[in-house]
Amino acid sequence: MSNNSDVVASGEYHPKPPFRRKLSFAWAGVLPFLIFAFLFLGLPSFTLFIGGFQDSEGHFTLANIYGLFTPSILSAYWVTIRISFATALIGGLFGFFLAYALVLGGVPSWVRSALMTFSGVASNFAGVPLAQAFIFTLGRVGILTVFLRELLNIDLYEQGFSLYSFWGLTITYLYFQLPLMVLVITPALEGLKKEWREAAEILGATPGQYWWHVGIPVLMPSLLGSMILLFGNSFGAYATALSLTGGLINLVTILIGSQIRGDVLHNPNLGYALAFGMVVVMAVTMSAYYLLRRRSERWLRK
């Protein structure tokens, strides 16, 4: 933006130094992209940010930020964070085991490529169809639920399970979390060099020692980074949760959705603060992911 004012100012008084002109020329080519991003990405986010710090008359206030720390909103954040954490941890571990089995487990390569392709599909199969597929399977009258009850006499819902609850949501989210973990951790597993293992064995290390002193330290940044990515991935989920629980579970995204439909918080500005709070959490999450990924890439260079 400052370049434009330079052009205006310099046109009237003194000729621009040549490198200036070159710089603004360089920016000119990306201007359409920048304008589009400003209008449909920057402006909406910025407006929410400003709105979060205003009262209904537009004066500056911190009341909305304090308002985020009321029990109902804190609990929404807390439930969202817990679900994201649970799915990141479980999805991360299981995804790691699956990726390990595929990359280093000695299975035929067609199994590996088939499952990698499927992971690409499954990590994009989310939202309403995913939630419905689980309802038809494990919902109150889902086929698996009925099958277990009629034929094996196990009544899941009598035992306290409910698909429309925390754990039900977790099981459902894993459907896109697990394959995503497989996709992002595979390069790290492929980066584990055979030579390291051989060197460790020649020096007399047991497999346990190899993993403890070499494998896990090398993989740690990727593992952590991938799980953080998974955390962010489920933190912003809306469609899956809404269609699974009908909006009954108190997630931040669900709360924002109700706020858009009809000001359930009775304070539009609190809604903006709520939305911007999500962006802050996501920003911290994704920054951590990129830092860790950069660290892990050191080992992956061939």
Partner 1 sequence: MKKNLIWSWFWIILSLLYFFVPLILTFVFSLQTLKDQFSFISYQRVFEDRGFIRSLIFSTEIGIVTIFLSLALMIPTVYWVRLKAPRIRPVIEFISLLPFVIPAIVLVFGLIRVFSGGLLPLTNTHLGTNFLLVAAYVVIGFPYLYRSIDAGMGAIDVVTLTEAAQSLGANWFTIMFRVIIPNLRAAIFSATFLTLAIVMGEFTVATFLVGLKSFGPYLWQVNQNRAYEGSALVIVSFLITWAFMGLIVLVGRGAGASDAAGPR
Q: Among residue numbers 242 through 281, which ones bind partner 1 (CB under 8 A)?
A: 242-243, 253, 256-257, 259-261, 271-272, 275-276, 278-279
> In whole angstroms, what separates CA 72 from the centre of its chain?
23
Of the residues 9, 144, 248, 291, which one makes contact with partner 1 according to CB under 8 A:
144
CA separation for the pair 117, 113 (Å, rounded): 6
Candidate ranges 11-19, 83-91, 153-161, 232-240; the one touching partner 1 (CB under 8 A): 232-240
Q: Which is nearer to partner 1, 107 or 248 (CB)?
A: 107
- In the bound state with partner 1, the residue whose beta carbon lies nearer, of 13 and 110, is 110
Among 229, 249, 270, 273, binds partner 1 (CB under 8 A): 229
**Cross-strand partners of 54:** 60
HEC sequence for 109-156? HHHHHHHHHHHHHHCCCCCHHHHHHHHHHHCCCCHHHHHHHHHCCCCC
Number of chain residues interacting with partner 1 (CB under 8 A): 86
* Residue with Cβ nearer partner 1 (14 or 267): 267
> By CB under 8 A, what part of segment 189-218 binds partner 1?
none
DSSP codes of every residue in 249-292 = S--HHHHHHHHHHH-TTS-HHHHHHHHHHHHHHHHHHHHHHHHH
Enumerate residues 40-59 that contact partner 1 by CB under 8 A. 40-41, 43-45, 47-48, 51
Closest CB to partner 1 among 179 and 218?
Answer: 179
CB 92 within 8 A of CB 230: yes
Q: What's the closest the beta carbon of residue 94 comes to partner 1, in angstroms?
A: 7
Taking CB under 8 A as the criterion, which residues in 68-127 touch partner 1? 94, 97-98, 100-102, 105-107, 111, 115-118, 120-127
| Interacting residue with partner 1 among 7, 34, 74, 199 (CB under 8 A) | 34
The residue (of 77 and 276) whose beta carbon lies closer to partner 1 is 276
Burial status of residue 95 (CB atoms within 10 A of its CB: 0-12, 13-18, 19 or more)? buried
Q: How far is the CB of 106 from partner 1 (least distance, A)?
A: 5
Q: Of 207, 273, 266, give the one whose Cα is nearest residue 69.
A: 273
DSSP conformation letters of 22-87: HHHHHHHTTHHHHHHHIIIIIHHHHHHHHHHTB-TTS-B-SHHHHHTTSHHHHHHHHHHHHHHHHH
At its nearest, how many Å lie between partner 1 and the CB of residue 199?
Answer: 19
Q: CB-wise, 140 or 298, nearer to partner 1?
A: 140
Nearer to partner 1, 173 or 218 (CB): 173
Q: Which of 34, 31, 7, 11 is nearest to 20 (CA)?
A: 7
Q: Which is nearer to partner 1, 96 or 218 (CB)?
A: 96
Does 180 contact partner 1 by CB under 8 A? yes
Minimum distance of partner 1 from residue 13's CB (angstroms): 27
Tokens (6 digits) for 150: 């009629």
Separation between Cα atoms, residue 239 and residue 229, nearest integer Å: 19
Q: How far is the CB of 270 from partner 1 (least distance, A)?
A: 13
